[in-house]
Amino acid sequence: MIGKMADAAVAISSPSSFHVLKNLPKLSLPALAPVQVNVRTVTLRRNISGDFDFVVRRTQIPDKQGKLHAVAFVEPVTFRDGPPRPNDIRYGLLPGDQLLRINGTSIDVLSRNDLSTLMESYVIESPV
């Protein structure tokens, strides 16, 4: 499909703290400190092969009442050697980031197929 490039503005969060299970029999683990969630917006561009260079993994996580909530985690496909650079942290995807919105559309109610369709709907710009 030939058309104008449509970048995906993606809202993501750093790994969030999960509900801490307490009083598990015969299991002694140290208490975990809550993780501060940093929500940031990144703009992703398709690479030359038409991909966004990340994969989406969906799972369900229980809240404090045990109700399951669907979440989508994104994992970058390519990694650089060494520690992340400041711009990687500010503007790129990191392993364990949670996908929240795509161009303002909340993804928590989307099925896997709807999420795929939304991502595929962005047009690739033809080379000049």
Question: How would residue 1 be classed by pLDDT, with cut points 50, 70 and 90?
Answer: very low
Q: Give residue 125's pLDDT band: very low, low, confident or very high (50, 70, 90).
A: very low
pLDDT of residue 15: 53
Helix (H) or strand (E) holding 105: strand 105-106
Q: How far is CA 107 from CA 4, 73, 78, 81, in A?
A: 24, 11, 24, 31
- pLDDT (tens digit, 9 = 90+) per residue, 33-77? 777 777 888 887 787 887 888 888 888 888 888 888 888 888 888
CA-closest candidate to residue 40, choices 62, 11, 9, 5: 11
Tell whether the model's pLDDT for residue 81 goes beyond 70.
yes
